[in-house]
A and B are shown apart, each in its own frame.
Chain A
Amino acid sequence: MKIEILGTGCAKCKALFANVQKAVSEMGISAEIEKVEDYHQIANYGVMTTPALAVDGKVKLAGRVATPEEIKQMLR
């Protein structure tokens, strides 16, 4: 599974990244977590508010930080 965190390094993006790591480790799954910080790439996802989260290329969340619990729901 490939999880991408879209955002340009703001505090909220970091918080989302940490929550994703937490969710993944708690679920005990193997996933590739990647930060996407390039505006061009973010635009290609059609995302207008950061931070955003994409799982296997599909946008699941935009514009806010989700809790580890919420993220678990999205990964299932």
Chain B
Amino acid sequence: MSTLHSETCSQYLLLARRLKGPWILIPALMIWWLIYRILLPCAQWTTYTLFGLPQGSHLGASVEFFLYEVPKVLMLLVVVVFGVGIVRTFFTPERTRAILAGKRESVGNVLAALLGIVTPFCSCSAVPLFLGFVQSGVPLGVTFSFLIAAPMINEVAVVLLLGMFGWKITAIYIGAGLTVAITAGWLIGRMKMERYLEPWVIELLGKGRSEVLETRPTWQERMQAGMHAVHEIVGRVWLFVVIGIAIGAGIHGYVPTNSLAGWMGKENWWSVPLAALLGVPMYSNAAGIVPVIQALLGKGAALGTALAFMMSVIALSLPEMIILRRVLRPRLIALFIAVVAFGIICVGFLFNRIL
């Protein structure tokens, strides 16, 4: 029996080795799917049978929410981050720059915002990336479209939105985020703000040394990049996920339904600018903020207000502004914040009105 087992095992390994490329992931994905399907019954069983909490109690609702959402979101994150990690090996910043260099404004803004989603980006390399873009002749406004879209619409945000809200709100968020990035970048481009760059940056404009490390990774390397992305991104955000969901679970179980309809509801017009304003100094990633937003929505907060808050927290962060201060003069930073905040407020009003 055991020899038979080891034989099938080695046959399987042989098959896995022969199947080059992404196909060897299929069995792993099937196991993943099976576990994913039983998460809800497991969370319910643990809450009500194992812990013996009464059905319909505040504590029971909170615990069930927490036990279901944490593994669900983490599992979704692992799969999507892995996939995006692979996709990103096709879109290096150098390649994105080559596409954007010499594009006309308008078209460039749209492309830049779209490429911002798929190009690897971390706020620690925001400055080298910014310099790399403007050096090689990517217009300033187009660069801004990229810089706004890249952190705002990323795989972590998309996973959390998909997992906790479903595809409709995810699509609305992506659409609204792209619109803000495209128009804000276009506006900044129109205003001819190049003179508000730091003087040494102005000297670099259009004088780029666009040496490209052109390598063609093998499938094995692409998958390694995926694993690496999981290790790095999930390793960085998992605590935010747990804390965010814990706060969400607390709100979910204990805050009475509709208690927030008053000051975070549709009728209250100033809640949108207030939400956008509150979001600027708050620094969290999507992982921490989405579960809280979801719980708030359930208690009567309006969607537009919630979206405005979320976008502002993610897109406008103080640490990133401090980093960008190295290349932009205060006037341009102020304009950047103002234009993006204005766009976010418009999005908030719009969705409070139409939904």
Q: Which of A's residues lie within 8 Å of B, judged by CB?
A: 8, 10, 12, 39-40, 42-50, 59-64
- Distance (whole angstroms) from the CB of A14 to the closest CB of chain B: 12
A contact residues around B97 at 8 Å (CB) = 48
CA distance A40 to B127 in the complex (A): 10
**B128 close to A50 (CB less than 8 A):** yes
Partner of B128, one of A47, A61, A64: A47
CA distance A44 to B200 in the complex (A): 12
Top 9 closest pairs, chain A to chain B, by CB: A48-B132, A43-B131, A46-B209, A46-B211, A48-B93, A10-B124, A50-B125, A48-B129, A49-B125
- Distance (whole angstroms) from the CB of B150 to the closest CB of chain A: 12
In addition to A43-B135, A46-B209, A48-B93, 6 A-B residue pairs with Cβ atoms within 8 Å of each other are A39-B128, A47-B132, A49-B120, A59-B213, A60-B213, A63-B125
B contact residues around A39 at 8 Å (CB) = 127-128, 131, 326-327
**B200 close to A40 (CB less than 8 A):** yes
Residue of B nearest to A11 (CB): B124
- Distance (whole angstroms) from the CB of B204 to the closest CB of chain A: 6
> A8-B124, A59-B211, A59-B213 in contact; A49/B131 too (CB < 8 A)?
no
B contact residues around A62 at 8 Å (CB) = 213
Residue of B nearest to A6 (CB): B128
Residue of A nearest to B129 (CB): A48
A-B contact pairs, 5 of them (CB 8 A): A8-B124, A48-B131, A48-B132, A48-B133, A59-B213
A contact residues around B204 at 8 Å (CB) = 40, 43
Partner of A43, one of B128, B213, B228: B128
CA distance A47 to B212 in the complex (A): 8
CA distance A5 to B118 in the complex (A): 26
Residue of B nearest to A60 (CB): B213
Q: Is the interface of B mostly helix, strand, loop or mixed?
A: helix
B49 interface contact, C-beta 8 A:
no
- Distance (whole angstroms) from the CB of A16 to the closest CB of chain B: 13
B208 interface contact, C-beta 8 A:
yes
B contact residues around A59 at 8 Å (CB) = 211, 213
- Distance (whole angstroms) from the CB of A21 to the closest CB of chain B: 21
Among B132, B200, B204: residue with most chain A CB under 10 A = B132
Residue of A nearest to B228 (CB): A64
B55 interface contact, C-beta 8 A:
no
- Distance (whole angstroms) from the CB of B305 to the closest CB of chain A: 35
- Distance (whole angstroms) from the CB of A46 to the closest CB of chain B: 4
B contact residues around A12 at 8 Å (CB) = 124
B105 interface contact, C-beta 8 A:
no
Residue of A nearest to B133 (CB): A48
Within 199-248 of B, Cβ neighbours of A (below 8 Å) are at 200, 204, 208-213, 228
A contact residues around B93 at 8 Å (CB) = 48-49, 63
CA distance A64 to B124 in the complex (A): 12
> A39-B327, A43-B135, A63-B120 in contact; A48/B209 too (CB < 8 A)?
no
CA distance A44 to B212 in the complex (A): 13
Among A8, A46, A50: residue with most chain B CB under 10 A = A46
